[in-house]
Structure 1
Amino acid sequence: MYKVSHDKQDIVIRFEKDLADEEVLSKFLGHISLQSLLQKSKGIGASDNIRSKTKIGNFPKNFDLLRNPSLNKGTAFTIEEREQLGLSGLLPPKVHTIDEQVERILYNLRKKPTDMERYIFLTSLQDRNKTLFYRVLIDNIEDLMPIVYTPTVGQACLEYGQIFRRPRGIYITPNDSGKIADLLGNWPHKDIRVIVVTDGERILGLGDLGADGMGIPAGKLALYTACGGIHPSLSLPVTIDVGTNNETLLNDPLYIGMKHPRIRGQVYQDLVDEFIMAAQQVYPGVLIQFEDFANNNAFNFLQKYRDDICCFNDDIQGTASVTLAGLFSAMRITGGSLADQRFLFLGAGEAGIGTGDLAVSAMMEDGLSLEEARKRCWFVDSKGLIVKSREGLSGHKLDYAHDHEPITDFLAAVEALKPTAIIGVSGQPKRFNQAVVEAMSRINERPIIFSLSNPTSKAECTAEEAYNWSDGRAIFASGSPFDQVVYKGKKFLPAQGNNVYIFPGVGMGVMASRASQVTNEMFLAAARTVAKEVSETDLRIGRIFPPLPRIREVSLAIAVEVAEIAYRQGLASVSRPDNLEEYIAGLMYEPEYTSYV
């Protein structure tokens, strides 16, 4: 058997006797195409060995092959493959192309009555034929993104115990203390580059869903592949299940997690610490993305680990980056610079404070001092406007507590502060009501209204409301998708400020450079890159993010910028290729069938 590893831009083939079948799979379908592998390996006598080794040994055959989602091609197996791999008679006689298979999948998708049924159908496809799943998803990303991720994934997490079919990642509980490395070693793929981990306590705007939150890391990693080109065998979803405080789940006989109240304190901290150490031990240099942890834990873990391991928090840094990208695009419409703005956030949690911090960094690049930049960011939380005179403030909120009389009402805060932009990250629906939008439209010629809470049911306002109440002048973005809006004969295509514009490209840039850390400079660069990819045509129809069908181009551009920063800051652990963009493009996974004979 063989193992393929990158050494700068060269391919080194070395044979090992003890590699598992799944290792053969992940390398055979590795993150460069087989054709590229064969071309690069010319002159070292490896090509014939690669071809021959796929025909012998323990390569799956018969039903084992058909039941392997990473290798299965279904009716696309050729006659020769069927004969040599023991598939003759096990499949219908017609050999289909992947395009014909895609047509069948789309036909069946259209017949499903609800988005939830479409979600179940697509995840079942992923469980039986990963290549076909990603071909369908990439080619239809705009239509299917709302199915495989927000808003449908939120409903999927709410019903996860009822719709559970097959395990999709690693579950870690307090009972596994002392043996987490062994658990991670049970995963069939041994070359893991990206882990998305959650403890399920703050799933989207839906709250504590415990182990049912696994739908989030699984969904995020599907987008890493579809949008960022990271091969699916290089990623691993993880859920740390320490219980739940959700009484509905505790009383649900179909709940899949630990049925006790959420464990906190030192036991919880020790479990997370062990996971971090075990991940580094089993998968050295792996990128860890924290997802949907409660506010305090999210900030604490990021602060604790960010300087020692390669990690980031998507709710804090990814959301900040995509929001800032939207603001950069909005500046192209309104004129002026970021330093001229005044931002009012509804919500002072991970997304809000994270965006404030990144916006401050950007404004400091424009010449403002730290204090001046922070004074342009104001926050309203559940108790009202965050001001210096409020007692009991702690943590990150203190940085944004300014001198002002207390205000408990959001509309009153808008009237008093006269912001150029309101940014909703509260998880509280309908808080941007008609009075708020009309006030913003009176204060600003082009009011910036970002309703970013997910899923759609938690949005602060809809696209239609924002355009109607602002007389068509709002610059609008949302966390979940909204349909086209027609106002007074003008068509608007509302922008979705989805983190998918950010984290797949950042992850690919980190992976390509083997960066030891993920820095704020990378997220600032990602935001600027996304904004640059928005065309004037996009802006004219109200879209301040690039069209989703271009997401892989955008991710590639981000990956190049992120890798450049890694090399410039001395964080990269592999030599810089001569042509970085070409190198990263060559790493991007394309879901195509490969001949096995």
Structure 2
Amino acid sequence: MEVDPTSTVGGGVEDVYGEDRATEDQLITPWTVSVASGYTLLRDPHHNKGLAFTEKERDAHYLRGLLPPAIATQETQEKKLMHNLRHYEVPLQRYMAMMDLQERNERLFYKLLIDNVEELLPVVYTPTVGEACQKYGSIFRRPQGLYISLKEKGKILEVLKNWPEKSIQVIVVTDGERILGLGDLGCQGMGIPVGKLALYTALGGVRPSACLPITIDVGTNNEDLLKNEFYIGLRQRRATGQEYSDFLHEFMAAVKQNYGENVLIQFEDFANHNAFYLLEKYRTTHLVFNDDIQGTAAVVLAGVVAALRLVGGTLAEHTFLFFGAGEAGTGIAELIALAISKQAKASTEESRKKIWLVDSKGLIVSSRKESLPQFKKSYAHEHEPVKNLLDAIEAIKPTVLIGSAGVGQAFTQEVIEAMTSFNEKPVILALSNPTSQSECTAEQAYTWSKGRALFASGSPFDPVEYNGKKYVPGQANNAYIFPGFGLGLVISGAIRVHDEMLLAASEALGHQVTKENFEKGLIYPPFLNIRKISANIAANVAAKAYELGLASRLPRPKDLVKYAVSCMYTPVYRSYR
């Protein structure tokens, strides 16, 4: 079976695999590619079209009798599947139906996700993916991605070679220790890399064959899983210390050896200590990105910058209070500090003084410095000790309150009312996922602030009616940033990630918020336009990579937005001849 090399879809230039050219390095350009026919073709998710095979294709590829006689367009198939999905009462059933579709007909899966992004994003990603990870052992059908366990020590390079696709551009990897706000789910954390990479393709246009989900299994400390007969991972306590870092080092070296300098490795849902250590250790030798630290930071900074267009004042004129000082909280704080220092032409040390953090022991202050882990020390400012969040708000009087501690309902009525008492428009971001861990709901934020809060959350909330006015809560979702960010790195051939690229991504997202969005209370643009948003982010990130001399794909394209769009994978069916 051959793919028509001349067809083009969606303005992109096609490569021979029927993928859009740009996210594929075209070192060799054969004009046709052979794919199995007949029954095998119908079992191949990359090329199967189900009832959409035409009469001519059914003759050419030995499909006569293997399909019912009706011929359906991709649009009809999409309509039928959405109809079926909407009939499922339980979100996990929708998740499983989507995963089944991905394993059966890849292009239809992405078509569905792109065309119905606002409806299906919570199904394939947070919050439903959290429940899916908790039950992954029970719902496990066929592996998606690579599982690299301690059993493979010394053989990781061989394991990578077992993956059928050779040209990988993005790897999302987890060790399952801190999945969303749900804790250690061990090997069952695989739902996260699988979900993230589906979004890399749907929202950022990186072709599916260039994406590789990986779970590193070093054991789990979750007693329930260790006792669960359906658990799919190693039944042992987590490896730590030297054994852990040696294993990760072997993995990082093998990835670079197998896929080269330009493969993006995105760390996902590692525990705090490992997340900071790995990012710090490999940022100078590999193309690495931690979505929990850097992606969250970029998306939150974009929301804050957009909110300030309504509230007024520069970043440096505002005071930020964080509830939560883990990887998300300190990552956001660092990027805001960097943005303030660039705007105000001040040192980062000086800029950090506008930012205060509250952890489980209270306000982080200088008298606690000795007992703090390294990543919190920069925020230990001079102040008397303060035990809880409410007292910290009274003492610091922040204009922006950001929650990232994974403690549900931590923003109580008193907290929101205190914020409203000295702010005309308090900016309140309840970022913890999934919904059960959110610091407060949209309804609580709008009701307790009497409709004055500018609110966004990590998980989706429905619009809220208050005093006859409809408020649409924004979602500070990393899915705004990482797909476009990754695409920008891929199309520029970037070899390292620099903090200024994160600022570039943030700026691009902040600029997409329109006057109409603001009128509804939104500080993020609607997800409906996500591919356009991602193309703009990719262009901004690529421009920064070229400017910093970190891009290897030369010469630089003249119009980076246009180039990014031409590079995006489109899931429309190809014609086979």
Q: TM-score category by the smaller chain?
A: over 0.9
- Cα RMSD between the aligned structures? 2.2
Q: 1:541 aligns with which of 505, 520, 531?
A: 520
Question: Which residue identity is paired with 1:337?
Answer: T
Question: Which residue identity is paired with 1:250?
Answer: L
Q: CA deviation at 1:2?
A: 11
Structure 2 distance, partners of 1:263, 1:309, is: 24
In structure 2, what is the equivalent of residue 127 of structure 1?
103
In structure 2, what is the equivalent of residue 173 of structure 1?
149
Structure 1 distance, partners of 2:420, 2:196, is: 36
Q: Does 1:243 align with 2:232?
A: no
Q: CA deviation at 1:3?
A: 12
Q: 1:449 aligns with which of 428, 431, 435?
A: 428
Question: Which residue identity is paired with 1:588?
Answer: M
Q: CA deviation at 1:114?
A: 1.1
Q: 1:377 aligns with which of 355, 366, 386?
A: 355
Contact 1:26 1:189 in 2 (8 A): no
Query: 1:159-181 CA distances to partner (integer Å, 9 max, x unpaired)?
Result: 11111111011011111111111
In structure 1, what is the equivalent of residue 19 of structure 2?
30
Structure 1 distance, partners of 2:268, 2:4, is: 31
In structure 1, what is the equivalent of residue 232 of structure 2?
256
- Secondary structure, counterpart of 1:366 in structure 2: helix
Q: 1:332 aligns with which of 306, 309, 316?
A: 309
Q: CA deviation at 1:80?
A: 1.2
Query: 1:533-585 CA distances to partner (integer Å, 9 max, x unpaired)?
Result: 00011011111101001111110001001111111111111111233222221
In structure 1, what is the equivalent of residue 210 of structure 2?
234
In structure 2, what is the equivalent of residue 574 of structure 1?
553
The worse-fitting range, judged by mean Cα deviation, of 190-199 and 175-184 is 175-184
Q: 2:440 aligns with which of 451, 456, 461?
A: 461
Q: Percent identity?
A: 53
Change (3 A) 1:73 1:175: same
Contact 2:160 2:255 in 1 (8 A): yes
Q: CA deviation at 1:300?
A: 0.5
Q: 1:221 aligns with which of 197, 201, 206?
A: 197
In structure 2, what is the equivalent of residue 323 of structure 1?
300
Query: 1:105-125 CA distances to partner (integer Å, 9 max, x unpaired)?
Result: 011101111111111101100
Q: Does 1:521 align with 2:497?
A: no
Q: CA deviation at 1:486?
A: 0.3
Structure 1 distance, partners of 2:498, 2:175, is: 23
Q: Does 1:205 align with 2:181?
A: yes
The worse-fitting range, judged by mean Cα deviation, of 331-340 and 25-34 is 25-34
The worse-fitting range, judged by mean Cα deviation, of 578-587 and 373-382 is 578-587
Contact 2:4 2:18 in 1 (8 A): no
Change (3 A) 1:105 1:2: closer
Structure 2 distance, partners of 1:380, 1:492, is: 29
Structure 2 distance, partners of 1:33, 1:455, is: 35
Contact 2:3 2:575 in 1 (8 A): no
Query: 1:9-62 CA distances to partner (integer Å, 9 max, x unpaired)?
Result: xxxxxxxxxxxxxxxx9951323399x99xx99xx9x8xx73xx44xxx52111
Contact 1:26 1:233 in 2 (8 A): no
TM, length-normalised to structure 1: 0.92
In structure 1, what is the equivalent of residue 9 of structure 2?
none
In structure 2, what is the equivalent of residue 435 of structure 1?
414
Change (3 A) 1:270 1:31: farther
Q: CA deviation at 1:396?
A: 1.1
The worse-fitting range, judged by mean Cα deviation, of 365-374 and 238-247 is 365-374
Q: CA deviation at 1:365?
A: 1.1
Contact 1:33 1:590 in 2 (8 A): no
Q: Does 1:69 align with 2:48?
A: no
Q: Does 1:362 align with 2:342?
A: no
- Secondary structure, counterpart of 2:366 in structure 1: coil
Q: CA deviation at 1:393?
A: 1.4
Contact 1:243 1:259 in 2 (8 A): yes
Q: Does 1:488 align with 2:467?
A: yes
Structure 2 distance, partners of 1:376, 1:103, is: 51
Gaps of 5+ in 1: 6-24
- Secondary structure, counterpart of 2:505 in structure 1: helix
Q: Does 1:59 align with 2:35?
A: yes
- Secondary structure, counterpart of 1:307 in structure 2: coil
In structure 2, what is the equivalent of residue 288 of structure 1?
265
Q: 1:343 aligns with which of 299, 317, 320?
A: 320
Q: Does 1:92 align with 2:72?
A: no
Structure 1 distance, partners of 2:226, 2:387, is: 35
In structure 1, what is the equivalent of residue 11 of structure 2?
none
Query: 1:232-279 CA distances to partner (integer Å, 9 max, x unpaired)?
Result: 010000000001000110010001111111111111111111111111
Structure 2 distance, partners of 1:100, 1:252, is: 42
Q: Does 1:505 align with 2:484?
A: yes
Q: 2:385 aligns with which of 402, 406, 409?
A: 406
In structure 1, what is the equivalent of residue 276 of structure 2?
299
Contact 1:210 1:243 in 2 (8 A): yes
Query: 1:70-113 CA distances to partner (integer Å, 9 max, x unpaired)?
Result: 11101111111111111110001111100000011011101111
Contact 2:4 2:576 in 1 (8 A): no
In structure 1, what is the equivalent of residue 81 of structure 2?
105
Q: CA deviation at 1:146?
A: 0.6
Contact 1:502 1:526 in 2 (8 A): yes
In structure 2, what is the equivalent of residue 586 of structure 1?
566
Contact 1:428 1:458 in 2 (8 A): yes
Structure 2 distance, partners of 1:4, 1:372, is: 59
Structure 2 distance, partners of 1:249, 1:90, is: 42
- Secondary structure, counterpart of 2:249 in structure 1: helix
Q: CA deviation at 1:369?
A: 2.7
Structure 1 distance, partners of 2:116, 2:40, is: 30
Question: Which residue identity is paired with 1:288?
Answer: I
Structure 2 distance, partners of 1:266, 1:490, is: 57
Structure 2 distance, partners of 1:589, 1:371, is: 42
Query: 1:504-561 CA distances to partner (integer Å, 9 max, x unpaired)?
Result: 1110010001100011111111111111100011011111101001111110001001
In structure 2, what is the equivalent of residue 16 of structure 1?
none
The worse-fitting range, judged by mean Cα deviation, of 412-421 and 387-396 is 387-396
- Secondary structure, counterpart of 2:378 in structure 1: helix
The worse-fitting range, judged by mean Cα deviation, of 505-514 and 382-391 is 382-391
Query: 1:396-431 CA distances to partner (integer Å, 9 max, x unpaired)?
Result: 110000111111111000011100011000000010
Q: 1:160 aligns with which of 125, 136, 141?
A: 136
Q: Does 1:596 align with 2:576?
A: yes
In structure 1, what is the equivalent of residue 364 of structure 2?
386
Question: Which residue identity is paired with 2:232?
Answer: I
Q: CA deviation at 1:309?
A: 0.9
- Secondary structure, counterpart of 1:400 in structure 2: coil
